[in-house]
Amino acid sequence: MTKPPLLILLCAPRGFCAGVVRAIDAVERALVLYGAPVYVRHEIVHNKYVVEGLRRKGAVFVKELDEVPDGDAPVIFSAHGVPKSVPEAALARRLFGIDATCPLVTKVHREALLHHKRGRHILLIGHAGHPEVVGTQGQLPQGATTLVETLEDIATLSFADESALAFVTQTTLSVDDTSDIVRALQARFPAIVGPHKEDICYATTNRQGAVKRVAPLVEAMIVVGSANSSNSQRLREVAEREGCPVVRLLLRADDIDWSVFGGIATLGITAGASAPEVLVEEIMDAFAARFEVTVETVSTADESVFFPLPRELREQAAE
């Protein structure tokens, strides 16, 4: 039987960002230099495929440092960042800590610390419980930050000194939602101080921009990524907001529901910043087995950002 035609619009940029590449490379480089086990506090990035691949190579993922035995095996802190207490605890135990925090998350940490030193109370725009938010709040004393998740939260805010406020944001948020929250904060607190350059990272902005271009043009859209990935979930939301009738967040080709995708003629595909390209290819191959596929890439930005490995691993590499 002749396969039906399917036009796939492939978003670009998509997939790994520079911070994710750096974090994964840090674990792999540490495994080469020191051998297994290499301990990693929390998932190095939010993608089950990536985490399982590193686990097979000898990485041991732990929730907290007390699961790490004493010794000189490396302990890597994830790309999302950690509270200041975590590296301090590692140092106290003389563990070999390696910080793989994305430099763009570190930028937010530094902004928050600077505002705190200048006597400002910090409004952190983000999602409660996300590791990046926990890490940012953990840079400062308890009570120094207030979490803002939604526009509705702003109405409940009250501060003794409204002239000494600042805001920072989680790096993986919806660009549009965050802009709305920032505008509402500035309207409510005219003196509030923001970052010199927005905190939402280039990769989040670029991937959402590509989805905005593609989503109105297709009958269905797949976001390749893990359910616990904030930036992947935001891509799904952006596609839905732009009017795409069917949007699904999928990790692997096995997750495709053919009762939903079996009768379409146009499909958009993107991938979250922690999703490897091999999973995009796997999903495209699954469609190629059922459809006569034509692929067009829709590119909205060029990316050339590179972050070097953590210093400890660079020094070893130089030796």
* Active-site option among 132, 237, 242, 312: 132
Q: How far does Cα 171 stand from its chain's mean position?
A: 7
CA distance 316 to 45: 23
Contact 225, 172 (CB under 8 A): no
Helices (H) and strands (E) in the chain, counts: 12, 12
DSSP H helical ranges for 243-310: 258-261, 277-288
Q: Torsion angle, CA of 47/52/54/59, rounded to 10 degrees?
A: 110
- Residue type for position 264: I
**Secondary structure (3-state) at 238:** helix
Task: Kindly report the number of other CB atoms within 10 A of residue 155's CB atom.
Answer: 10
Distances in Å between the Cα of 185 and the Cα atoms of 152, 170, 311 are: 11, 16, 38
Active site residue 132: yes
Residue 175 Cα to chain centre, angstroms: 13
* Whole-number Cα distances in Å, 1 to 220, 262, 289, 292: 24, 15, 12, 11
Residues with active-site annotation: 132
